[in-house]
Structure 1
Amino acid sequence: MAAIFRALFVGLLLCSACNLLEGHKPLNLLLFRRIVTDYNSKYVSNYEASVSADFTTINFTLNIMRTITVDVWLRATLAQRVSKKENSYRNVFTYDVNLCHIMGKKKGQSIIDFWLDNVMRNSNMPRQCPFKEGNFTMLNIQSDKETIPRFIRSGSFSIDSNVYMRQWHNDNLTNTIIYVDIKKR
């Protein structure tokens, strides 16, 4: 579940303004550099992510120990590195969305729907709420270069996401930081 939200987060953040600013150079390359994960051991017994050797895909493993019976929310922030210092990033934008509402809707044509389909393609993750306990994987998730907003310039970015349950006192489920490099021609 968290993995789907992390990958969805990448899609949401990088794809939210896909058709803005016509005439910018097309994307040449998006590389996943590193992923840092953490989880709440009250709900999750394992949450891992890995980046492929060529840095173009990511894989997630998640073990949910108990059924999550409330809506799950995603707070995600895209930030761009502003200097060579490791932690020197400037926020570009932040989302805070109810993932259960997004997943519960009929299939649409939005960027969110596109990314959710992309993330779920090679996954055994639940496709609706509530999320039942179990072992889940999401494999070979990659960015569709055509859906990255044109206003995003070449550079290094962090995608910081927190999956949480508002109704359970904003209790965290997982946290993920994905570091990516975007290079445009």
Structure 2
Amino acid sequence: MLLLLWLFLLISLRSRFTNVSVECSYEFCSSTRGWLTPKGEVNMDIHLNRTLRNGLRTTITLMQQPDIATHRYQTLFSYDFDTCKTLRELMQASLMKVWLRNVFKYGNLADKCPIKPDNFTIRNFVLENSSIPAYLPTGFYRLHDTNYYGKPKGRHRRLVATFILDIKFY
């Protein structure tokens, strides 16, 4: 039984990004750009012109496209959290630390708050095969990341940035 579990954990999906979209409010950024390499690696340039302080929130939603013909996505999960608090906690010790390190090693993103104005870049980002949960079925997925100030369900949210990544797991 342990051998089967071990083999299951070794089986990992591969991935390829198929689309990237980056938007940032002019209140916080003077320019943003996202593009894919021919190999499906993600590149981003973000010029942050205003300090991001405590109170910044993030909503991360993972969606699956169950039927390619319909172009509709079904939400698998969505988390809304205090960005600065979560960065502090995750950078100490957790499984998410592994995933964050995967992102941080491809660029110069800030790993703590306050996030001061700067030019942030990501170059040739790929998901490490071992960081993809083996229980996910092959197919097309969308990761939607929204950063904002305000209450999670509030009407007066101040959008900071939105990142959308389309990914094929195979």
- TM-score range for the pair, normalised by the shorter chain length: 0.7 to 0.9
Q: Could you list the structure 1 runs, at least 4 aligned residues long, displaced by more than 4 angstroms after superposition.
A: none
**Do residues 100 (structure 1) and 87 (structure 2) align?**
no
Task: State the partner residue of 1:114.
Answer: 98
Give, in angstroms, the shift of residue 93 of structure 1: 0.8
Task: State the partner residue of 1:170.
Answer: 157
Give the alignment partner of residue 122 of structure 2, picking from 109, 133, 138: 138
State which structure, 1 or 2, has the greater radius of gyration over its C-alpha atoms: 2
Is the CA contact (8 Å cut-off) linking 1:164 and 1:174 kept in structure 2? yes
Distance 2:18 2:66 in 1: 17
> Structure 1-normalised TM-score?
0.77
Written as runs of structure 1 = structure 2, the 5 A alignment for 1:1-185 is 23=8, 26-55=11-40, 57-85=41-69, 87-105=71-89, 107-166=91-150, 169-183=156-170
- Residues 31-90 of structure 1, C-alpha deviation per residue, up to 9 Å, x if partnerless? 0000122221111111211212111x2121111111123332210111111212353111
Per the alignment, do residues 28 and 113 of structure 1 end up closer, same or farther by CA in structure 2, a change over 3 Å counting?
closer
Give, in angstroms, the shift of residue 104 of structure 1: 2.1
Distance 1:73 1:151 in 2: 28
Is the CA contact (8 Å cut-off) linking 2:47 and 2:117 kept in structure 1? yes
Distance 2:143 2:136 in 1: 13
Distance 2:13 2:39 in 1: 15
Is the CA contact (8 Å cut-off) linking 2:52 and 2:115 kept in structure 1? yes
**Matched residues, number:** 163
Point out where structure 1 has 5 or more consecutive residues left out of the alignment.
Answer: 1-19
Give the percent of matched residue pairs that are identical in Structure 1 and Structure 2. Answer: 20
SS of equivalent residue, structure 2 residue 114:
coil
Is the CA contact (8 Å cut-off) linking 1:70 and 1:165 kept in structure 2? no
Distance 2:58 2:90 in 1: 20
